[in-house]
Amino acid sequence: MQARISKSAALATLLALMAPAISQANDEAPGLAPAAFLPMSALPKSPALDVSSLKINKPAKLAEDDAFREKDVWGRIRSGYAIPDISNELVAKHVNWYAARPDYISRTTARASRYLFHVVTELEKRGMPTELALLPFIESAFNPQALSSANAAGMWQFVPGTGRDYNLKQDAFKDERRGVLASTDAALSYLQRLYDMFGDWQLALAAYNWGEGSVQKAIKRNQAAGKPTDFESLAELMPAETRNYVPKLQAVKNIIANPAQYGLNLPAIDNTPYFTAVDKTSDIDLTIAAHLAELSVDEFKALNPQFKRPVITGDDQTKILLPKANAAKFHLNLAQWGKDLSTWTTHKITRARESIGALASRFHTTPEVIRQANNIPRRSLLKAGSTILVPKISTSASIDISPEVERNATVAFEAERERTTSRSGYKLAKGGRAAKSGPVALVKARVPRNAVKGNHRKNHD
């Protein structure tokens, strides 16, 4: 009995001493309950009470320090798993699939090493489960250039409409659905909104893949039938892709939790930022930016995949991402750069169906250069109103592309048609050449040549 009294007294003294620190934690961590410790009456009555088992909320700064104590980012992800596990045949199937493909795991985790520190840090700031950092493993294999058949783009696979809902800019020069910072912020905001809607992370994930409206309908259907509405109970109502979605993430969670169990090795990812943001002060060619940072163009694009053209335009808020060491090199080399940073400007097409060849001659370049810079297919004609990139000439050497031009620029083209009517107004025989003999080969065109062109233009505009 004496032992019980002394332990209770010691615990009371300890909690009294901890009260100021706990109060400070509540002040620094918004959203915590007003009382962060238990009253004595609520404590378990046990002679062997272990004070270390009491969970005390830590100030945000201490939580951040704890994150940096992990040796690598994988450890941070494992320690923040918070979505309930599932275990079924689909999970086992996907675990086996991944485990049987070590080369695929190696390529995907190597790509992920550029982005994971940032994603995990953003998840921790929001208090979200850290296994959500593994979702791009399922969506895109951490390839920010990924594009699905449904036109979903980037590491987090946003379709155009949802991207616009979350303020991801999409224009002729950039697509922020691919950008590391913007798309991650949008994806986490979207996932948090879905969790707030359903109160369940597995259903939130299903909605991320299938759409919140579809999940809501499935829930109502099961409710009407008196059935449960958890993910596994709703799975039979889902399309195959969604039914497999959460099990795939669970499979990746299992592998990341214990890769050696599956005969796999994960690359070490230092628990430090991989990249830093650098301000852009004026238009700069993508190749020149990579050169100044002493990076390959491929590595530069891996960190800045949102830029669609060979020149990085935009206002002073546009930033580029560089590894920390290369950011220092970029600033040093930029200070010593004595040439133009951009070799491109824009040109608006005013004539109907202007040829690439004529433009190339006008701007002292080749048709192929203009096609590549503007993603124009071969044998295409530009339509009036299009705004395209062309090499700078002396009169525009110091002028940057304005934000208004960037926002409003469009490129429209149509297939170049083979001439099917001779200058004399006769149709040519099949194959585009007149027959060598015989009157059947030449048939007078039924409508004037200009009218044919006009009708064609009307049908394709």
Nearest-angstrom CA–CA distance, 136 and 184: 10
Nearest-angstrom CA–CA distance, 392 and 373: 13
Which of 131, 139, 176, 354 is catalytic? The answer is 139
Question: What pLDDT does 47 receive?
Answer: 38
Q: Hey, what amino acid is at 102? A: P
Nearest-angstrom CA–CA distance, 231 and 204: 9
**Rg over CA atoms, the chain:** 30
Which domains are assigned to the chain?
A: 2-62 (no CATH), 70-262 (1.10.530.10), 284-334 (no CATH), 344-415 (3.10.350), 426-460 (no CATH)
**Which residues face 322 on adjacent strands?**
276
Question: What pLDDT does 424 receive?
Answer: 39
Q: Residue holding tokens 């790509």?
A: 111
Question: What pLDDT does 148 receive?
Answer: 96
Nearest-angstrom CA–CA distance, 235 and 218: 9
DSSP-derived pairing of the beta strands 426-427 and 443-444: antiparallel
Question: What pLDDT does 379 receive?
Answer: 86
Task: Tell me the three state secondary structure of residue 185.
Answer: helix
Question: What pLDDT does 395 receive?
Answer: 59
**Active-site residue flag, 139:** yes
Question: What pLDDT does 67 receive?
Answer: 52
Q: Hey, what amino acid is at 215? A: V
Q: With the CA atoms of 131, 136, 139 and 140 taken in that order, what torsion angle do they form, in degrees rounded to the nearest 10?
A: -160
Which is nearest to 321 in space by CA: 460, 176, 445, 198? 176
Phi, psi of 376, deg, nearest 5: -100, 125
Nearest-angstrom CA–CA distance, 94 and 249: 9
Nearest-angstrom CA–CA distance, 79 and 230: 25
pLDDT digit string (tens) for the chain, length 461 residues: 444 444 444 444 444 444 444 344 333 333 333 333 333 333 343 333 333 333 334 444 444 555 556 689 999 999 999 999 999 999 999 999 999 999 999 999 999 999 999 999 999 999 999 999 999 999 999 999 999 999 999 999 999 999 999 999 999 999 999 999 999 999 999 999 999 999 999 999 999 999 999 999 999 999 999 999 999 999 999 999 999 999 999 999 999 999 999 999 999 999 999 999 999 879 999 999 999 999 999 999 999 999 999 999 977 678 999 999 999 999 999 999 999 999 999 999 998 878 899 999 999 999 999 999 999 998 888 999 999 999 998 755 678 998 889 888 998 888 877 544 434 333 333 434 333 333 333 333 333 333 333 333 333 33
